[in-house]
Amino acid sequence: MISVGTHIESFPNANCLSRNFLIHHSSNRYKCQYPIKPTLPAVGGFEGVGEVLEVGHRVTNVKPGDKVISNTATLGSWRTHLVCNSSAVRTLPEGTPLLFAATVRVNMSTAYRLLQDFEDLQPGDCVIQNAANSGAGQAVIQIAAARGVNTINIVRDRPDIEDLRSYLQGLGATIVTTESELRQNEKSIMQDVPKPKLALNAVSGKSCFVLLKQLQPKRTMVTYGGMSRQPVMVPTSSLIFSDIKVRGYWMSRWHEETATDSK
Ligand SMILES: NC(=O)c1ccc[n+]([C@@H]2O[C@H](COP(=O)([O-])OP(=O)(O)OC[C@H]3O[C@@H](n4cnc5c(N)ncnc54)[C@H](OP(=O)(O)O)[C@@H]3O)[C@@H](O)[C@H]2O)c1
């Protein structure tokens, strides 16, 4: 067993990483809308970083002073202290900035895996995504830009669209557009980027049509969220004539499946 103290600090720049400090996962969980239901009474919170205070004499995988994040979806990070089995946590490399450590488990890791696990993306390739201003979407933009991969980023109409456009372009977005702009000016918006190899869907419903219309034949649309609360909608022609692959991704499953290795 180990004893962990949670880092509770104010992160003044937190909104640079996620629009809401309470990530969507945590709010779904809090409303009992998440598939993994903890045994009650339970502590909420998916994200957070802790510092190991003490370890039992047989523990070898962590030591006092290590910064750790949860390995499981049910540990609950909204707490000041925790006593748990050492296998319930994962050690972060020394020197990992606290803000990064506290938020890496869900949205940033999801973005990384989405870009890594479904298509072989090379510099110059292109990815299209909806909900591009979400925490996960912003992470996709930044990781893709660091790899030289173009992103077409769909956001919802809003009065301050130009502010959002320049903010996301500042993160590395290639194109920021709304669905209506893309419908009206598709040719000019898409003229300087290749057709996307990968579509990332966090909205579902009819928003999938917009992603699939741009996707290269035989490539993949990965659904990782359903913000519209609608089913995934796929035109029959996308399956028959374009032979696209429709996949899903769940970060919690990845954490469970890889909890004991070093990925
Ligand atoms: N599968 C996984 O492992 C995994 C991991 C991480 C996240 N997710 C999912 O990814 C999604 C984003 O999570 P997040 O924490 O990054 O969210 P977030 O930062 O809270 O952002 C929410 C996003 O959803 C958009 N949105 C809200 N309601 C919408 C609607 N009715 N139609 C279309 N768009 C809507 C928002 O756009 P506006 O700004 O226009 O409101 C914003 O872009 C969630 O569905 C979450 O569950 C899944």
Tens digit of each residue's pLDDT (9 = 90 or more) over 106-141: 899 999 999 999 999 999 999 999 999 999 999 999
Instruction: Please check whether residue 262 lies inside any domain of the structure.
Output: no
pLDDT recorded at residue 105: 87
Catalytic residue among 34, 112, 167, 249: 34
- Residues 217 and 238 sit within 8 Å (Cβ to Cβ): no
What is the tens place of the pLDDT at every residue in 59-73? 999 999 999 998 877
Centre of ligand 1 to C-alpha 133, Å, is 8
Asked if residue 134 has its Cβ within 6 Å of ligand 1, the reply is: yes
Tokens 């319930």, residue located: 88
Structure tokens at 163: 């502010």
The verdict on residue 226 lying in a domain is yes
User: In this predicted structure, which of 29-38, 92-101, 184-193, 222-231 has the lowest mean pLDDT?
Assistant: 29-38
Q: Describe the crossing of helices 135-146 and 109-117 by its angle, rounded to 10 degrees.
A: 50
Q: Is the same domain home to 113 and 158?
A: yes
Domain residues for the domain of 65 are 2-96
- From the list 127, 64, 119, the residue with the least C-alpha distance to 91 is 64
Domains: count for the chain: 2
Asked if 131 and 15 touch (Cβ cutoff 8 Å), the reply is no
Lowest mean pLDDT of 30-34, 48-52, 151-155, name the range: 30-34
CA 225 to centroid of ligand 1, rounded, Å: 7
Average pLDDT of 144-154? 98
Q: What is the mean pLDDT of the chain?
A: 88
If asked whether residues 130 and 78 sit together in one domain, one would say no
List, for residues 42-60, the tens digit of each pLDDT value.
888 888 899 999 999 999 9
Q: Which residues of 26-36 are buried (b: 16+ CB within 10 A; e: fewer)?
A: beebeeeebee
Q: Tell me if residue 167 is catalytic.
A: no
Domain boundary (96, 129, 147) is at 96
What pTM was estimated for this model as a whole? 0.87
φ, ψ at 48 (rounded to 5°): 145, 165
